[in-house]
Each structure stands twice: as structure tokens, then as C-alpha cells.
């Protein structure tokens, strides 16, 4: 009988896509996907370390497997991703969970194939974690599970060293993929019928900044959107220090590119932005939003915000609130600052008490939700184009997203997954829209 795999993923879209590559490797080795975790012969944890709660989550889930491993000693447990790449974490994981069979790093997930072979041969635990990234590995075929959406990496790693962030330490220096690989991957995805392509990088705007690709991000985006066919193009994440008019001009040129920019602001206070080492000001950020909307009046922005960064005063926090209102974001991911070992901010003296952090995050979430709800209401009676992604069994409705990422539900007698449909919106419920198909 064919052996089966189960992958548990934590963290961001990058990790979700990396798990598709891990699945590709496991299938190459001969495993097939298990329908439940209990059925699996190998369980792979693709971990995240960006905030403490992501780590605690993984610790809890790995710990819970002790019993399963006892019942089935042949089960292989592999742990990889950002956490194993963190200084000192491998030791902690090793000691805390002696039943882990394989450990690999975020910089060498492609080694999983040989590590499994070694584990099967040697029987003892195998650990292989690289200190520094190798070149970009191009021979891993991802096993994609989110049709009609597909993610395509354009850069790996990050050079920005925002003072709170661990990513540059665990993902290494920024590397850009060669345009020919990216373009041939997108062409092939479009030929296979994928309808939404998202270009991924920690800071897409610095694509090719080291001169290794002969192309800027704007030029790459232009080339991707010039590929024939009906599909959408998205990109994330943009960094306000590098976001520029050239990119917006390319958006203007191609209707295929969604009029949505994910532009993390992190804070509305110049003081805090400086301490965060973000290298832009509140004024520069607002100027970029203005430039975007002057060229594309319908454009929306989404963002990431951290509250409770060391030294953040009530005044600083209120500046974040004011900026959120001024920009009127389509949505925002909001986080409580989490100190990460080895980062500059973790050593800062003026850490904020938890009670203050909690109070600020609650107020911010309330503000963001109220803006999102208000935006939803403006959809009533309008017709929007939705890319159908899935069927919700519980609701008995199909669902998809408009170009701004807003979820729309609708009824259909025929399978619509992978199709663009026009929905007349009849109901707005919080962040979700409900509508009827119109031709």
C-alpha cells in the first residue's frame, strides 16, 4: 500500500506555498496525501516564528503527537520551517520532543527527500539545518491544492532588518528568481487553467535590486501581465520605502492586475517608524496612497499594523488610528508586538505592558472592523466580478473573491469553481457579501 503524508502549516502565504513544494517532494518520493492526520505515515510540520503565538501553537501540536508516535512507531515526524532555523530553537525542539525523527531548516526544505531516505536506512534521528541559503532551487515542482489560485515566488529572504522582525535572520539575504523561470512558471499555470496568479516576496519592490535579474519589479509585473489569457495578477508584499509610480503605471496599463496593494504601514507615528527601522515616514506613506489613487481612483489598499511596539505612547497609537481612518483601508491585519530573540527591538528597554497592548489591539480591531463593514455596505446593489474558488458545504453556496479580496457567496446549480462570475450584491454581512449571478 502507498504511504501517506500529512503537512501542518503555520504562518504566512509564503509558508503555505512552501508546503505545496514540500508536498511536491513527498509525492516525488512516492507518498500520497492522507485524508486525515491519523492515516499518515509521515507528518511534516512547516513552522513559523514571526510571533510567539505561532511558535506556541506548533509546540502544542507537536507535543500532542507523542501518543500517536507510541501507538505507531513507524510513523515519521518531521519538523522544518522558520522555527528550526532560529538560533537555539533546534536544541529546544530536540530536547523537548525526542520523538521527532527529522529536522530540516527553512533554507533547505529541498533536502527532505534525502533526509527521509537516511531516516529509513539509519533508523536514528536525522537533522540537517543550513546556516546560509544555497542558490535558488528550481527543480521542485509544487503540488498545488488551491486551484484556481496559484502562488509564484519572485524573491526569497529579506534585507530590511525591521527592528522587530526575525525574518531576515531565518530566511537569509534577499535572492531574486530569474525572470525566465518566473515567466515560464506563470505561462504554464495559465495554460493549466489557473485564474489568479500571486507574485510572492517579502518586499516585491526590491526584486532584482542586486542587479542579478536585469529587470525591475515593475518590468517583471509588466511581463507577467502581458501573458495572454483571462487571469488576475496580484503581488505581495510591497514595502512603502520602495513602492513607486512605475508599478502603478504598469497597473494602469493592464486591467488584469488587481487594483489592490498590500502595503504594510506598521505604525502611524514617525517616531515609532524610525525605531522600527522602516525607513519611511507617515507623510511618505500617505503620499504613496495619494499617488496610487490619483492614477487609479478605484484602487484599494490593505495593510499590516503592529501595536504595543517598545516606547509606543498613547499619542503614537492615536496617530496609527488617525492614519487608518485617513487611508480607509479595505482591510488590515493587526498584531500585538511580540519580542523576537536576537532582534534589536527585543533589547529595547521601554517594552509596553501587556494590559496596554491588549487595550490598543482591541480598539484597533474595532476600528478596522467598522471600516470594513462600512465598505461592505457600499457594495449593496452593485455588480462585481468574482473568481469562484470553492463550495461551502455548510452554507450550500459557492464562494469567491472580487479583485479587492472581498468574499462573495452565491447559489449555482452548476459547478462554478475556476470561473469568473458577475454577482449582483443583495446582502452584506460584516466582511462577507452575498449575491445573485447576473449575465
Q: Which residues pair with 304 in a beta bridge?
A: 333
C-alpha cell at 308: 504595543
Applying CB under 6 A, does 202 fall inside the site for ligand SF4?
yes
d(CA 329, CA 323) in angstroms, rounded, equals 10
Taking the complex as a whole, the smallest distance from the CB of residue 304 to ligand SF4 amounts, in Å, to 8
Name which position in 27, 147, 168, 270 contacts ligand SF4 (CB under 6 A). Answer: 168
Taking alpha carbons only, the member of 215, 231, 222, 220 closest to residue 254 is 222
Applying CB under 6 A, does 164 fall inside the site for ligand 5AD?
yes
Taking the complex as a whole, the smallest distance from the CB of residue 49 to ligand 5AD amounts, in Å, to 9
Taking the complex as a whole, the smallest distance from the CB of residue 304 to ligand 5AD amounts, in Å, to 3
Compute CA distances 411 → 364, 391, 404, 416, 426, whole Å: 34, 10, 21, 10, 12
Q: Where are the alpha helices (DSSP H) in 97-209?
A: 112-122, 167-171, 179-191
d(CA 201, CA 198) in angstroms, rounded, equals 10
Which secondary structure element, helix H or strand E, spans residue 62, and what is its range?
A: helix 52-63
Residue numbers 333-392 binding ligand 5AD by CB under 6 A: 335, 337-338, 340
Applying CB under 6 A, does 264 fall inside the site for ligand 5AD?
yes
How many chain residues touch ligand 5AD (CB under 6 A)?
13
152 binds, among ligand 5AD, ligand SF4, none (CB under 5 to 8 A by kind): none
- Residue 82 preceded by cis peptide, ω within 30: no
Cβ–Cβ under 8 Å, residues 332 and 302: yes
Task: Build a one-symbol-per-residue string for 35-54: x at contacts with ligand SF4 by CB under 6 A, - elsewhere.
Answer: --------------------
Applying CB under 6 A, does 85 fall inside the site for ligand 5AD?
no
Applying CB under 6 A, does 175 fall inside the site for ligand SF4?
no
Residue numbers 221-260 binding ligand SF4 by CB under 6 A: 239
Q: Which residues pair with 81 in a beta bridge?
A: 47
Applying CB under 6 A, does 154 fall inside the site for ligand SF4?
no
Name which position in 51, 171, 195, 259 contacts ligand 5AD (CB under 6 A). Answer: 51
Applying CB under 6 A, does 162 fall inside the site for ligand SF4?
yes
Q: CA end-to-end span of the chain, whole Å?
A: 48
Which secondary structure element, helix H or strand E, spans residue 400, and what is its range?
A: strand 397-401
Q: What are phi and psi of 351, to 5 degrees?
A: -65, 150
Applying CB under 6 A, does 317 fall inside the site for ligand 5AD?
no
Applying CB under 6 A, does 167 fall inside the site for ligand SF4?
yes
239 binds, among ligand SF4, ligand 5AD, none (CB under 5 to 8 A by kind): ligand SF4
Quick count: other Cβ atoms within 10 Å of Cβ 180? Answer: 9
Cβ–Cβ under 8 Å, residues 359 and 314: no
Task: Name the site residues for ligand SF4 (rule: CB under 6 A).
Answer: 158, 160-162, 165, 167-168, 202-203, 239
Task: Name the site residues for ligand 5AD (rule: CB under 6 A).
Answer: 12, 50-51, 164-165, 264, 266, 304, 306, 335, 337-338, 340
Amino acid at each position: 500500500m502507498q504511504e501517506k503524508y500529512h503537512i501542518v502549516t503555520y504562518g504566512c502565504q509564503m509558508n503555505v506555498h512552501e508546503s505545496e513544494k514540500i508536498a511536491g517532494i513527498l509525492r516525488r518520493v512516492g507518498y500520497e496525501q492522507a485524508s486525515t492526520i491519523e492515516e499518515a505515515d509521515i507528518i511534516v510540520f512547516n513552522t513559523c516564528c514571526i510571533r510567539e503565538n505561532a511558535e506556541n501553537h506548533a509546540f502544542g501540536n507537536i507535543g500532542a503527537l507523542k501518543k500517536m508516535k507510541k501507538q505507531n512507531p513507524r510513523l515519521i515526524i518531521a519538523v522544518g520551517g522558520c522555527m528550526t532555523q532560529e538560533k537555539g530553537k533546534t536544541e529546544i525542539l530536540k530536547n523537548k520532543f525526542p520523538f521527532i525523527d527529522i529536522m530540516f531548516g527553512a533554507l533547505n526544505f529541498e533536502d527532505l527527500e534525502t533526509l527521509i531516505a537516511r531516516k529509513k536506512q539509519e533508523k536514528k534521528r536525522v537533522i540537517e539545518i543550513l546556516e546560509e541559503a544555497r542558490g535558488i532551487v528550481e527543480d521542485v515542482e509544487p503540488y498545488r491544492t488551491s486551484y484556481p489560485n496559484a502562488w509564484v515566488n519572485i524573491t526569497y529572504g529579506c534585507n530590511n532588518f525591521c527592528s522587530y522582525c526575525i525574518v531576515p535572520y531565518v530566511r537569509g539575504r534577499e535572492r531574486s528568481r530569474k525572470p525566465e523561470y518566473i515567466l515560464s512558471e506563470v505561462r504554464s499555470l495559465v495554460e493549466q487553467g489557473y485564474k489568479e496568479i500571486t507574485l510572492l516576496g517579502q518586499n516585491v519592490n526590491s526584486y532584482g535590486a542586486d542587479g542579478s535579474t536585469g529587470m525591475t519589479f515593475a518590468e517583471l509585473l509588466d511581463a507577467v501581465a502581458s501573458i495572454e489569457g483571462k487571469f488576475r495578477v496580484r503581488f505581495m508584499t510591497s514595502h512603502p520605502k520602495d513602492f513607486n509610480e512605475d508599478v502603478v503605471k504598469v497597473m494602469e496599463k493592464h486591467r488584469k492586475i488587481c487594483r489592490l496593494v498590500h502595503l504594510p504601514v506598521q505604525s502611524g507615528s514617525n517616531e515609532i517608524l524610525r525605531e522600527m527601522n522602516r525607513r519611511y515616514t507617515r507623510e511618505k506613506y500617505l503620499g504613496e496612497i495619494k499617488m496610487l489613487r490619483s492614477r487609479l481612483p478605484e484602487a484599494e489598499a490593505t495593510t499590516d499594523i503592529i501595536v504595543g511596539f517598545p516606547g509606543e505612547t498613547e499619542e503614537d497609537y492615536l496617530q496609527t488610528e488617525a492614519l487608518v481612518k485617513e487611508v480607509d483601508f479595505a482591510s488590515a491585519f493587526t498584531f500585538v508586538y511580540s519580542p523576537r530573540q536576537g532582534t534589536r527591538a527585543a533589547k529595547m528597554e521601554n517594552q509596553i505592558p501587556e494590559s496596554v497592548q491588549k487595550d490598543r489591539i482591541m480598539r484597533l480591531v474595532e476600528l478596522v472592523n467598522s471600516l470594513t463593514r462600512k465598505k461592505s455596505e457600499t457594495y449593496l446593489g452593485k455588480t462585481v466580478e468574482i473568481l469562484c474558488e470553492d463550495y461551502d458545504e455548510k452554507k450550500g453556496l459557492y464562494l469567491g473573491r472580487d479583485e479587492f479580496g472581498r468574499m462573495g457567496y452565491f447559489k449555482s446549480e452548476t459547478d462554478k469553481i475556476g470561473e469568473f462570475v458577475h454577482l449582483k450584491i443583495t446582502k452584506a454581512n460584516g466582511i462577507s457579501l452575498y449575491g445573485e449571478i447576473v449575465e
